[in-house]
Structure formats: C-alpha cells, structure tokens
Amino acid sequence: MPPSPSPSGTSTAPAASGPPSDPPALVLPGSPIQQVWAEAHPKPTLLSDFILGSQDGIVNVLGIILGLVAAHTAAKIVLIAALAALGAESIAMAAVAYTSTRSRRRLYLGEVQRELQEMRTVPHLERKEVADVLQQWGYEGAELSDLLDRICRNPRAWLDFMMAFELKLRPVEGDEPRKSAYVVGASTIVGHLVPLTPFFFVGSDLLLGAALAVGLSTVALFGTGWYEAKVSVGRWWQNGLQMVLIGLGGGVAGYAIGYAIQAAPWT
C-alpha cells in the first residue's frame, strides 16, 4: 500500500476513508522554488476573476443605461435602475464565484481520494497510466523505465503526477472560494461604477451622461484587455479591442431594446 507523503517529505499511510484535509502541494510551502514561482507569475484565477467581474459589471450597466436613455427615461430612473443592478449583480456574481470554486475544490479532493485508493488497490494500472503519459512525451526503453520507477517510488510525486497529467486538475486551496468571491464581487462593483459615475454629475442631460459612460467604458475595457495581454499572451491592442467590442456590443443591444420599446405603438 503506497504511503502518503507528509509536508516534511517523509511518508505516512494515507487515511482509509474520507477526503484529505488539503490537496498535496506540488512544491513545499516556503521553499525557494515556491517563492520564485509566487513572485514571477500572476495567479491565473485572480486574473480571470477580475476580468469576469469587471467586464460583467461594465457590460451589464452600460446596456441598462443606454437602453433607458434610448427609451427617454428620466435621469433619476437611470440611477435607480443602475444602482439596483449593481447591488443585485455584485451579490449574485460573488455567490456564483464562491459556489463554483468550492465545487472545483470538492472535485479535486474527491479525485485525490480516488487516486489514493487506486494506488493502494491496483498499483500496476496506475503505473501503466504514468507510463502512458511518459510515452506520449517521447520517453522509451531504459529511460522510460528509470523515470517511471523514480516517480512511483515517491508516493507524493506519483499522486501529483496523476492529478496534473492524467486528470489535468490543479489544487484548489481551502480559502480560494472565499478569495474568488471577494475578487469577483468587488470587481463587479467597480465595473458597474465605470459607466454609472457620469450620471451623478450631468443632472438631466442624459445624452451627455450616455456619451461619457460609453467613453469611460471604452477606456476601462481597453485597459483590461491591455493588462490581460501584459500578464499573459497576445497583442495588447488586439486584446484591448476585443474587450471593447464585447462591452460595446452589450451596450448596443441595450440601446436597441430601449429604442424598440420606446417606438412600439403600445407604449
């Protein structure tokens, strides 16, 4: 029965039942490798959560604002509708981020338990799965056999290898659902405020407010795309333009709906 590694690097027998309290880390906490990794690379979930919340906030409120402006709604109604959307949408987005990330964590922990069970009961099949991955990478013969033995002698390396390269799952830390909810919720609020802010200052001039809302939203969306390209891959102008087109597309849809309702004979 392969033992589970402890954080110190020694091996202890895994629990017979129930998921482990935390997924095994690929790198020991506090090690120089982990520090370099943490300093050199942004967290992908943080970036995706920020883009999800901010883009949703901008697109959602911009569509509402332009739709109400097209329907010749009073400025007070525009503010009330946009602020109500801000409150409801930020809570809903944060809740969705929390529950979806928690589900990913539970899935990961469940798969860890399943892999540990299979390592105990059918180790020959698990070794073959490791060998299949190594063969796909081009390892053969003695080199393949040596690398396979090295991985499977270390239960921690064996388990992490299976999780990452067979199941293609990454660890989800215990506090990640809460962090994801905070980031998505906060960025959704910020995104809502971008097109809404001008209406606190333009009074009853809805056309000026709408023009400023479109302008601020364009700048914010382009900046988000530029930042994404900076920390990931892609051309900054292409990513920025893509974000702008998505955001303004939502605004155009809202304007078209508002205009159609205003022009309808029953209104």
3-class DSSP string for the chain: CCCEECCCCCEECCCCCCCCCCCCCCCCCCCHHHHHHHHHCCCHHHHHHHHHHHHHHHHHHHHHHHHHHHCCCCHHHHHHHHHHHHHHHHHHHHHHHHHHHHHHHHHHHHHHHHHHHHHHHCHHHHHHHHHHHHHHCCCCHHHHHHHHHHHHHCHHHHHHHHHHHHCCCCCCCCCHHHHHHHHHHHHHHHHHHHHHHHHHCCCCCHHHHHHHHHHHHHHHHHHHHHHHHHHCCCCHHHHHHHHHHHHHHHHHHHHHHHHHHHHCCCC
Return the amino acid letter for 99: T
Q: 63 in a domain, yes or no?
A: yes
Structure tokens at 195: 């097109």
- As for how many domains the chain has, the answer is 1
Q: 35 in a domain, yes or no?
A: no
Domain that holds residue 63: 43-258
Q: 25 in a domain, yes or no?
A: no
Q: 199 in a domain, yes or no?
A: yes
Please return the burial class of 143, using the count of CB atoms within 10 Å of its CB with bins 0-12, 13-18 and 19+: exposed
Handedness of CA 252, 85, 59, 221 (dihedral sign): positive
Which of 173, 151, 39 lies closest to 106 in space, CA to CA? 173
C-alpha distances (whole Å) from 265 to each of 44, 67, 71, 262 are: 50, 17, 13, 8
**Which positions ≥6 away from 43 have C-beta within 8 Å?**
none
CB 226 within 8 A of CB 239: yes
Q: 97 in a domain, yes or no?
A: yes
Q: Rounded to two decimals, what is the model's pTM?
A: 0.77
Q: 249 in a domain, yes or no?
A: yes
pLDDT at 267 (0 to 100): 63
pLDDT at 231 (0 to 100): 83
C-alpha distances (whole Å) from 162 to each of 9, 87, 140, 216, 221 are: 18, 43, 19, 47, 39
pLDDT at 11 (0 to 100): 40
pLDDT at 265 (0 to 100): 81
Residue 16 to residue 112: CA distance in whole angstroms = 13
Bridge partner list, 11 = 5
pLDDT tens digits, the chain, 267 residues: what are they? Answer: 444 444 334 344 344 344 444 444 444 444 443 444 444 555 668 889 999 999 999 999 999 999 999 998 999 999 999 999 999 999 999 999 999 999 999 999 999 999 999 999 999 999 999 999 999 999 999 999 999 999 999 999 999 999 999 999 999 999 999 999 999 999 999 999 999 999 999 999 999 999 999 999 999 999 999 988 888 888 899 999 999 999 899 999 999 999 998 888 876
pLDDT at 255 (0 to 100): 93
| CA 45 to mean position of chain CA atoms | 4
75-121 vs 206-231: helix axis angle to the nearest 10?
20
Q: 251 in a domain, yes or no?
A: yes
Q: 29 in a domain, yes or no?
A: no
